[in-house]
Amino acid sequence: MQDRLQWIRQAPESWCDWEAVRGGLEGHALVAARYPQAHCHVHEPQPRMAQVAAAALPRPAWWKPSRWLSQAPDFGVPPDGSMQMLWSNMALHMAADPQQLFAQWHRALAVNGYVMFSCLGPDTVRELHSVYAAQGWPAAGHAFTDMHDWGDMLINAGFAEPVMDMERITLTFATPERLLQELQELGCNLHPQRYAGLRTPRWRQALCNALQAQAKPTANGSELALTFEIIYGHAFKPPSRHKLGAQTEVSLDDMRNMLKAKAPPLQS
């Protein structure tokens, strides 16, 4: 995802990492290194994750010169219209109301600012869904949104010229236990019809047996595969457009933005 920043013509003066812990602190460091002079803002909606981010991205002590030389991040909800770039890695597919999330991103961005995000697509862990279906169990996870639908939602939220693409990545595991550990670290099953109670050790063993039956032989033994569809998207916030009538009210801020409107920072 960080490679796609080469498409941006102008470096942002300020940017927000939305759910930096879920997106990966290593990825955060790559973006911060690319834009060392840009002011950084970190937003973590969950208090537990906010504590992790604050501990991992501390401010320099007040008496150290690095406090004035480095761009230590601020924390909390970014002020409306304050960010030139909003960065969200692997958070969108976990949102209960993605359209509300798009509206939050739109408010946080300045005019001609842009959002860059990634999320999981519909083909993610299709092998696991097949195993669950064959066993007659409830769905293994909630359905992920197609990238074309994300593009439509971006436009409905007020963004312009969304660009979407995707890739599929296959991860392999030596044992069912290692596969399940990876899934547990990535997230949880949010399907409305998921099994409501706790599973037993006997059920877990049945799941491991069913997964092992799907293993494919290799030169080094056998391995289990999981597919992950990764969707990437970016779009920019255009100037407000007002329909003019016999009498039209336009806020002073919108008038300034319309007068100072410039070309968007994304290349076509």
Q: Which of 23-37, 123-137, 210-224 has the lowest mean pLDDT?
A: 210-224
pLDDT tens for residues 166-186?
999 999 999 999 999 999 888
- Side chain identity, residue 183: L
Tokens, residue 54: 């604050």
pLDDT tens for residues 52-64?
988 888 665 444 4
- Sequence-distant (6+) residues with CB within 8 A of 11 are 34, 35, 37, 38
**pLDDT at position 268, please?**
41
DSSP characters for 102-146? HHHHHHHEEEEEEEEEEEE-TTTTHHHHHHHHHHTPPPSSPPPPP
**pLDDT at position 263, please?**
45
- Side chain identity, residue 230: I
The pLDDT of residue 194 is above 60: yes
**Averaging pLDDT over each range in 57-71, 176-190, 242-256, which range is the top one?**
176-190
Q: Which sequence spans correspond to the domains of the chain?
A: 2-259
C-alpha–C-alpha distance, residues 162 and 115, integer Å: 9
The pLDDT of residue 73 is above 90: no
pLDDT tens for residues 4-15?
898 888 899 999
Q: How confident is the model at residue 249 (pLDDT cuts 50, 70, 90)?
A: low
Q: Which of 40-44, 45-49, 195-199 has the lowest mean pLDDT?
A: 195-199
29 vs 57 pLDDT, higher one = 29
**pLDDT at position 66, please?**
44
Query: What integer best gives the mean pLDDT of the chain?
Result: 86
Burial class (CB in 10 A: 0-12, 13-18, 19+), 237: buried
pTM: 0.81
The pLDDT of residue 266 is above 70: no
Fold that domain 2-259 belongs to in CATH: Rossmann fold (3.40.50)
**pLDDT at position 247, please?**
61
237 vs 188 pLDDT, higher one = 237
Tokens, residue 164: 């979407």
**pLDDT at position 212, please?**
94
DSSP-based helix, strand, coil % in the chain, nearest 5 = 35, 25, 40
**pLDDT at position 217, please?**
82
Instruction: Please report, for residues 91, 106, 107, 157, 165, the alpha-carbon distance to residue 239 in angstroms, rounded to integers and kept in the order given.
Output: 26, 12, 12, 13, 25
DSSP characters for 202-241? HHHHHHHHHHHTT-EEETTEEEEEEEEEEEEEEEE-PPP-
In which element (H, E) is residue 56 found? helix 47-56
The pLDDT of residue 260 is above 90: no
**213: closest CA among 17, 256, 205?**
205
* Beta strands 216-218 and 221-236, pairing class: antiparallel
61 vs 41 pLDDT, higher one = 41
The pLDDT of residue 97 is above 70: yes
Instruction: Taking residues 36-59, report their average pLDDT.
Output: 88
- Sequence-distant (6+) residues with CB within 8 A of 118 are 1, 88, 89, 90, 92, 230, 231, 232, 233
**108: closest CA among 45, 26, 32?**
45
Question: CA 15, 92, 208 angle in degrees (round to 5)?
Answer: 130
Instruction: Quickly count: other Cβ atoms within 10 Å of residue 160's Cβ.
Output: 15
- Sequence-distant (6+) residues with CB within 8 A of 180 are 207, 208, 211
C-alpha–C-alpha distance, residues 102 and 100, integer Å: 5
